[in-house]
Structure 1
């Protein structure tokens, strides 16, 4: 069956090729179950609670810094922002606000899972903002948005005002 959005038969192998060629992600298919993953390198992940993720996405959109691609993990109630690997290691080790906000950095060699056609249960893994190009926001921009959103604790239907 051809997926009308992708324009090809949506199999794990075909989706993986799409991620590799169009999105420039080093994706691979696990032949045991058809899951699609990649190892963090030039692309990292910023994992956070979905409630904070919604606020961060709104803040990134409000400031024109782009918010995608973002993968939802409904079972764990988390979102993973795929970002450029431009976060200095000193920031990772010294920033206590990251830990207080529950943000986890998935970096250098760690495995990041992507939605696969075998993920038929919507509670498993899905795109919030699908990968459709090589664009990834700056990891630093996403962390700045986390700081704004975590500091202000805004309701989900509000966007932060400029500082």
Structure 2
């Protein structure tokens, strides 16, 4: 069967992909009627967004700790990745921690909507899966943030005295 002869039932669309995300991955998705994008309401699932270079190190460290596979969305134009997480962490109250994350361009999404990769013409694709969501597993947000902070702390220049 050629691509042109596939039945409509087997073609990927925002609606079929959103249904997959809901039924198989347990993500609370819907298709935005205005844009046609697949969106997810944050709540029990959130996201930790960061620059791709830091995210790559976090991904490797989480794998080393046997956490995963973690669903990760790549934002091509922004050069960032978003880890989908269980929103199990307390609000960050420490100003020093907030400043550290802000300087590193790390954002925690707990409320609102998160755009997920949607099928469409290649030139319209702004998000793609770095690691696709294929199961209901999401890592603990506390674990992901802890890993981010450890990597940021390890990258700090150490004060070596006057020399």
TM-score band, normalised by the shorter chain?
0.7 to 0.9
* Alignment counterpart, residue 58 of structure 2, candidates 56, 59, 63: 56
Task: Provide the aligned C-alpha RMSD in A.
Answer: 2.1
Give TM-score scaled by structure 1 length: 0.82
Secondary structure, in 3 states, of the residue corresponding to 1:117? coil
Please state if 1:74 is matched with 2:76: yes
Q: Deviations over 1:4-27 (max 9, x none)?
A: xxx942111000000010011110
**1:67 offset after TM fit, Å?**
4.7
Q: 2:123, 2:71 → 1: CA distance?
A: 20
Match of 2:131 in 1: 129
Give TM-score scaled by structure 2 length: 0.82
Match of 1:159 in 2: none
Match of 2:104 in 1: 101
Q: 2:46, 2:145 → 1: CA distance?
A: 12
Change (3 A) 1:119 1:126: farther
Match of 1:161 in 2: none
Conserved 8 A contact 2:58-2:148: yes
Q: 2:93, 2:69 → 1: CA distance?
A: 24
Conserved 8 A contact 2:46-2:110: yes
Secondary structure, in 3 states, of the residue corresponding to 1:131? coil
Q: Which structure shows the bigger proportion of residues in helix conformation? A: 2
Conserved 8 A contact 2:118-2:125: no
Q: Deviations over 1:35-60 (max 9, x none)?
A: 10011000011010111100000000
Gaps of 5+ in 1: 155-163
Conserved 8 A contact 2:72-2:131: yes
Please state if 1:11 is matched with 2:20: no
Q: 2:22, 2:125 → 1: CA distance?
A: 25
Secondary structure, in 3 states, of the residue corresponding to 1:128? strand
Gaps of 5+ in 2: 157-163
Q: 1:93, 1:42 → 2: CA distance?
A: 20
